[in-house]
Structure 1
Amino acid sequence: MNASTTANVAPLAPRASGDDIPWNKKQRQTRTAGDWIVDIIIWALVAVVVIAVLYPLWFIIISSISDPNAVAGGRVSWLPVDVTFAGFQRIFEESSIWVGYRNTLIYSIVGTAVNMIVTIPVAFALSRAEFKPRRVILFLFTVTMFFSGGLIPSYMLYRDLGILNTWWVFILPGAVSVYNVIVARSFFETSIPEELHDAAQIDGLSYFGYFFKIVVPLSSAILAVIGLYYFVGHWNDFMTGLIYIIDQDKKPLQNVLQQLLLVNQTTSTASVGVSDAQRAADQMKFGIIIVSTLPLLVLYPFLQKYFNKGVMLGAVKG
């Protein structure tokens, strides 16, 4: 092709973007009647699920502050009736409640800290391909998820270790959760690029420096998820205090509330006015549920964004 031919060829016009197309020429997405029907069905199902999940919690709240006779008579459904805080007053008049709260906070905070200090380095070590024994160690860890010695051998072991009837029985035996180790290991393997380790080696960072300065700051989502798992587990721990703790001043909140509930039920049964006392005890049940779950309900919204992200990132992938 000579110069004259080339000069006569018009340059290609640039392809028009969506913003360059006039509005009247843009394709409009039309919604059919079927689309609207599907949307209505989906939203109806979502509404039913939300109501089914939230209504029991709402019923407990309004029942805990309603008159016991109204609750027993079925007059409490959506709003409280004859509001009274007598149930909560009876709960918080018990000094053992505050002792249980103190113990549970200590067990939950210290236990979660120990769990994180142990679990995260273990998961990071098992995620490194250059750590040759990692598959054997992970297999041995996994075996413990399916087989255990049982209650009596565990009791004898804790007795020989000298941690029976001490605070350590809540912290040391459950220092590592194999499930959380597997979740964190999968996160480190799939979400932390290996190029970061190569760059860290070039900069002269050791494994400890790479772990603390690069890996941990990039793992806030999975740390929040695993920390929440551990904290909830310690907060709801009931069997440990029931089996391994004798002293009342070392009982966690869950055991204190259970004992308080049993005492009130026994008192209501032995009293002359069985009906009124039993209804007051029922109101106290609702208050105990609120007292035991309120801290977790307050904590969860602050960790929700990390929780959703961490669960997806740390999911076990085949």
Structure 2
Amino acid sequence: MRKNKIKPFEWFNYTLMVLLLLSIILPFWNLLVMSFSLPNDVLTQKIQLFPKHFTLDSYRIVFENNDVFIGYANTIIRTVCGTVLSIVVTFCAAYALSQRGLPLRGTITVYFLFTMFFSGGLIPSYLWIRDLGLIDSRLVLILPGVLNVFNLVVMRNYIQGSIDKSLEESAAMDGAGPARIMVQIVAPLCKPVLATIALWTMVGHWNAWFDAMIYINDPDKQVLQMLLRKIIFSYDDAVVGVAKAALGINVENSNPNTLKAAFIFVTIGPIILVYPFLQRYFVKGIMIGALKG
């Protein structure tokens, strides 16, 4: 029986993918080990594949800061509300644009695509947000980005290319209206692309910080990523000083790098935990939604 031999080009691909994977994993692993290491081990560069002296001191310092919990609450509110609202609006708009009988369907599509490539600019956007009274409001973190045109195109293409129109026609003959067809017939068949867009939107909201920096001045409404940015871009001595002042504990022997590493993993941890539950929909949703239609 003839055995399948791996071709040289396949060996090259495997090697390249392994190197790429290591280049992504090793920096994260180094940060993780650093966050569980003693400050002296970091200073003397005694960090290896595993912590030489395991400790949770850096995480204790991070979680004793009340601003972390405020940032977590604001980020969770933004992510959950923003994702749900974005999915509802995107799905409704995509379903409408997938209907060939929609008046001015082509004009509306071009209008959406135009905003995908051309922006009004930061200053006009700020003036518009100010006139709407959304400055220092949590709504400013959700409403302006409720409809992503790329997600809209992916969703519309999925509906056009993967949903059999005969199902909608049969439901209409049985007396179902457009809203009922959309909710009870089309929506359940769109689970893969809905999960994919939900993941994209969740990651986008969870990692966003620029709009909070521009529009939010109230510390009680700041998101977690703004606190992370403040810590990452602070001078090393300032990081320890801020922790000491905010927490009221002795952190003189702390290493700023261990605090930064711990805070990074506190920030990215939840989104990493959510990803495996949506992974099975991810590849199918993006491939069908992007290539069909």
Q: TM-score, normalised to structure 1's length?
A: 0.83
Conserved? CA contact 2:158–2:193, under 8 Å: yes
Counterpart AA for 1:47: V
Shift of 1:306: 0.7
Please identify, of 297-306 and 70-79, the stretch whose mean Cα deviation from structure 2 is larger: 70-79
Conserved? CA contact 1:67–1:84, under 8 Å: yes
Q: Distance in 1 between matches of 2:108 and 2:253?
A: 54
Partner of 1:288: 263
1:73 aligns with 2:44: yes
Partner of 2:2: 30
Q: Which has the higher contact order (CA 8 A, sep 6+)?
A: 2
1:164 aligns with 2:135: yes
Partner of 1:303: 278
Shift of 1:131: 1.1
1:110 aligns with 2:81: yes
Report the count of equivalent residues. Answer: 285
Query: Of the candidates 145, 165, 177, which is equivalent to residue 206 of structure 1?
Result: 177
Partner of 1:249: 220
Q: TM-score, normalised to structure 2's length?
A: 0.90
Counterpart AA for 2:87: M
Q: Distance in 2 between matches of 1:300 and 1:145?
A: 27
1:187 aligns with 2:161: no
Shift of 1:279: 6.4
Q: Distance in 2 between matches of 1:43 and 1:260?
A: 38
Conserved? CA contact 1:75–1:81, under 8 Å: yes
Conserved? CA contact 1:265–1:281, under 8 Å: yes
SS at match of 1:157: helix
Q: Deviations over 1:94-132 (max 9, x none)?
A: 001000000000011011111112110000111111113
Q: Distance in 2 between matches of 1:156 and 1:164?
A: 10
Query: Of the candidates 176, 198, 203, which is equivalent to residue 232 of structure 1?
Result: 203
Q: Deviations over 1:294-315 (max 9, x none)?
A: 0011000010001111111111
Q: Distance in 2 between matches of 1:78 and 1:136?
A: 57
Conserved? CA contact 2:80–2:202, under 8 Å: yes
Counterpart AA for 1:166: S
Query: Of the candidates 18, 25, 38, which is equivalent to residue 54 of structure 1?
Result: 25
Question: Structure 1 residues 269 and 49, CA, compared in 2 at 3 Å: closer, same or farther?
Answer: closer
Q: Distance in 2 between matches of 1:238 and 1:204?
A: 47
Conserved? CA contact 1:261–1:281, under 8 Å: no
Shift of 1:183: 0.4
SS at match of 1:314: helix
Compare CA radii of gyration and give the structure with the larger one.
1
Query: Of the candidates 39, 46, 58, which is equivalent to residue 87 of structure 1?
Result: 58
Shift of 1:261: 4.8
Provide structure 1 residue ranges, at least 5 long, that are not aligned to the other structure. 1-28
Conserved? CA contact 1:268–1:277, under 8 Å: no
Question: Structure 1 residues 185 and 87, CA, compared in 2 at 3 Å: closer, same or farther?
Answer: same
Q: Deviations over 1:196-241 (max 9, x none)?
A: 1111122111111110110001111111011111111111110111
Q: Distance in 1 between matches of 2:237 and 2:27?
A: 26
Conserved? CA contact 1:186–1:314, under 8 Å: yes
* Aligned CA-pair RMSD: 2.3
Q: Distance in 2 between matches of 1:37 and 1:159?
A: 60
Q: Distance in 1 between matches of 2:196 and 2:212?
A: 25
Partner of 1:6: none
Q: Distance in 1 between matches of 2:40 and 2:166?
A: 67
Counterpart AA for 1:247: D
Conserved? CA contact 1:100–1:251, under 8 Å: yes
Shift of 1:250: 0.3
SS at match of 2:55: coil
Please identify, of 257-266 and 53-62, the stretch whose mean Cα deviation from structure 2 is larger: 257-266
SS at match of 1:76: coil
SS at match of 1:57: helix
Q: Deviations over 1:46-88 (max 9, x none)?
A: 4323222222221111111112332233321311121122211
Partner of 1:312: 287
Question: Structure 1 residues 35 and 153, CA, compared in 2 at 3 Å: closer, same or farther?
Answer: closer
Conserved? CA contact 2:231–2:260, under 8 Å: no
